[in-house]
Amino acid sequence: MGGDNKRKIRIELRKNRQNPTRERDLTRYYGGEEDAEQDTYVRQERVSGKGNLTRHRTVTVEADKPAEDLPALPAVDVSHCLPGRILRVQGLYSTVLTEDGRIFRCVVRKLLRDLSIDERNVVVVGDRVWIRPATANEGSIERVEPRHGLLTRGAKGKEHIIAANVDQVVIVASLAEPVLKPHLVDRYLVSAEKGQLRPIVCFNKADLVDLVNYQWLIGMYSQLGIPVIPTSARTGMGIDRLKDLLRGRETVFAGQSGVGKSSLLNAIQPGLQLKVRDVSEATQKGRHTTTTAELIHLDFGAWVVDTPGIRQFALWEIPLEELDGYFPELRPFVALCQFPGCSHTHEHGCAVKEAVRLRQIPMQRYETYLGLRRGETFE
């Protein structure tokens, strides 16, 4: 990266200013509609420099990188920078583990912060980065390497990348408290499919219920080829099997608050001592214990990302006409539908609807598909 194989490109930056979210000084309109209309006209005609214009800047990048990766990849001088991995992002600072085993507290280079991107944050847990040390334990993030293996969701019109550069996702759901939400599990499965992650479904707190009542659900996901593990952090049920699936891989643990993600990690590696809390008896909703995602190295050769609980999980940028492709059990029937572009909701001659009627496709999964098409949140 430090050679002469570079080129210059133009990149788009964030705007200097944004329009105010609401009109200020509303009391000035007390004079009536005529005064209000005149004031609005004046406000609309104002010009504030380049505040609302797109900004651009010329940067030097590596010439051998594909064009789609270039905006987040400014060239770096490797003689002054170190490669590393982001363990944690909190506020303006990121904790970075360098390849030589040192820990640095880093800020993000201003050029990267100013990039106009769809992501909520320019750096995320799991990112591989280059940092420029400033002191023995502080520095700045100069470059973010291309990502793979993403778990993402939509949040406030932006893409929220929960973890990057991981191999698989353990979707943790509770069989007791909080209330089990299969539709939420299905949403995580769609996101895993989109991010090219291997999914594992973990039904925690299995010691508190009669598992016979949940065999239909365990069987439904197992038939999709997904490993399903009933676990109990308290009794140790399923912990050894889960540990085997983590060994030698990089895994993100995901699920709503209170399902026991941190408790499971504490059971997998005694001594980890991640904080845990009980579920609220009043609301039956989990209380946030983990407040920010963190990449953790386990002593049996695994990396895991412990994440904060999420109550709503909106999918990011999956067109409705492509949604059926993220449900493996629907795919064999899509080509058999009478009409191309069938939505599988109301059309005559729909092979998917017929497969649901014949119980070749589980009703539970089909209802999730319909809910996603309707834009339901499944809180």
Do 164 and 284 lie in a common domain?
A: yes
Residues with pLDDT less than 70, the chain: 1-74, 115-120, 277-290, 377-379
Distance CA 371, CA 379 (A): 12
Do 176 and 200 lie in a common domain?
A: yes
Do 168 and 103 lie in a common domain?
A: no
Element (H, E) at 107: strand 103-108
Do 129 and 237 lie in a common domain?
A: no
Total domains in the chain come to 3
Neighbouring CB atoms inside 10 A of 357's CB total: 10
Do 222 and 292 lie in a common domain?
A: yes
Do 139 and 215 lie in a common domain?
A: no
Domain span including residue 361: 320-374
Comparing C-alpha atoms, which of 8, 318, 1 is closest to residue 128?
1
Q: Which CATH number goes with the domain that contains 348?
A: 1.10.40.50
Phi-psi region of 292 (alpha: psi -120 to 50; beta: other; left: phi over 0): beta
Do 239 and 185 lie in a common domain?
A: yes
Element (H, E) at 59: strand 55-62
Whether 8 is in a domain gets the answer: no
pLDDT for 43? 43
What contacts 316, CB < 8 A, 6 or more positions away? 152, 153, 154, 159, 160, 191, 194
Whether 1 is in a domain gets the answer: no
Do 260 and 370 lie in a common domain?
A: no
Taking only the tens place, the pLDDT of each residue in 268-324 is: 998 888 877 655 444 444 454 667 899 999 999 999 999 988 877 889 989 999 999
Distance CA 72, CA 56 (A): 14
Q: Which CATH number goes with the domain that contains 120?
A: 2.40.50.140
Environment class of 66 (CB within 10 Å of its CB; exposed 0-12, middle 13-18, buried 19+): exposed
pLDDT for 194? 95
